[in-house]
Amino acid sequence: MEEVDIKVLFDIYKKMNLIRKFEQKAIQLYWEGINRGALHTYIGEEAVAVGVCSALRKGDYISSTHRGHGHCLAMNGDPNLMLAELLGKENGYCRGRGGSMHIADLDLGILGANGIVGGGIPMAVGAAMALDYQEKSNVVACFFGDGATSTGAFHEALNLASIWNLPILFICENNFYAISTCVTNAIAIQDLANRAKAYGMTSQIVDGNDAIQVYQETKKARDIAISGNGPVFLECKTYRTEGHWVADPQIYRDRKEVEEWRKKCPIEALKNKILQKDVSKKKLLESIEKEVEQIILQAEKFAKESPEPNPKDVQKFVLV
């Protein structure tokens, strides 16, 4: 498989660190009572979002999930605006009205996160249909979790995308738990990629904790999709090392299981791979980590100092 350029690896490493530090800051602010609303963090799954989005090109789109911070940051979303949104501030992405689960930035190709399980899948297919109609050489990367593959919308959308040969990448983030239900208790097959085969779709199982592999497989999938050979399904096997949401007591899974997955940290794995190639890059990686810390501190300052929405405008910018 084609070797990944070192500059791309540094960018991937930076974004994965940015996601991790952003989520840790969001958790801290939640427990300080500053962060408003529910919070579903992406810690442990960073390699999927960054690996996929790093392989996309200008004009491509993504659709996200309720666990969408990582997807937005991987698409160069602004951490200042994101953290301000989590704090319900007027300067946030949705003027503080949407919170954690509704961040969007169409200029960056982020069609939006979605609080409904599988809710983004039909919308992503619609966006792919628009790209096809406009004869653009772009794709939509549609993120969703293992639980979403059991919804009716998932099957209807995959069938439509397949029969219409649409340029879409279905990115299944199989983290093994749909809220508190283990995938082995809810789905009778071992590999969710087999569900795509039922629709005549190219599919691939990927180590979702290996950012390089995710990046390489996404590049291949994108080439297939824009060459008129139809959608591609990537099942990225990964793990969320935090709870379903920030206050989840996690009584449904063994702590030993969590600790075993923490040892497979995707960020440390990438760091080790880079250093195995060239140990002299250690200082550069450390400078990236310090740069990320400053970005998060700036985002926290921006969010805390941003104005509160005016209560008189509470019904503006809200569609119900």
**pLDDT by residue (tens digit) across 273-307?**
999 988 889 999 999 999 999 999 999 999 999 99
Question: Does the structure show a pLDDT above 70 at 320?
Answer: no
Beta sheet of 202-207, edge-to-edge order? 61-63, 140-145, 168-174, 232-237, 202-207
Question: Which amino acid is residue 230, in one-letter code?
Answer: G
Domain assignment present for residue 309? The answer is no
Q: Above pLDDT 70, what percent of the chain? A: 99
pLDDT at 190 over 70: yes
The CATH number of whichever domain residue 258 belongs to comes to 3.40.50.970
Q: Tell me the average pLDDT across 130-141.
A: 97
The runs of H, that is alpha helices, within 173-310 are 183-186, 193-197, 211-226, 255-262, 266-277, 282-305
Q: Is residue 302 part of a domain?
A: no
How many other β-carbons are positioned within 10 Å of the β-carbon of residue 319? Answer: 4
Categorize the per-residue pLDDT at 114 as very low, low, confident or very high, splitting at 50, 70 and 90.
Answer: confident
Q: Check if the beta carbon of residue 46 is closer than 8 Å to that of residue 20.
A: yes
- Interval 234-257 mean pLDDT: 96
The predicted structure's pLDDT at residue 4: 92
By C-alpha distance, which of 150, 143, 155 is closest to 66? Answer: 143
Cβ-contact 95, 309 below 8 angstroms: yes
| 119 part of a folded domain | yes
Domain range enclosing 101: 6-296
In-domain check, residue 126: yes
Please state, rounded to an integer, the average pLDDT across all residues of the chain: 96
Q: Is residue 319 part of a domain?
A: no
Domain count, the chain: 1
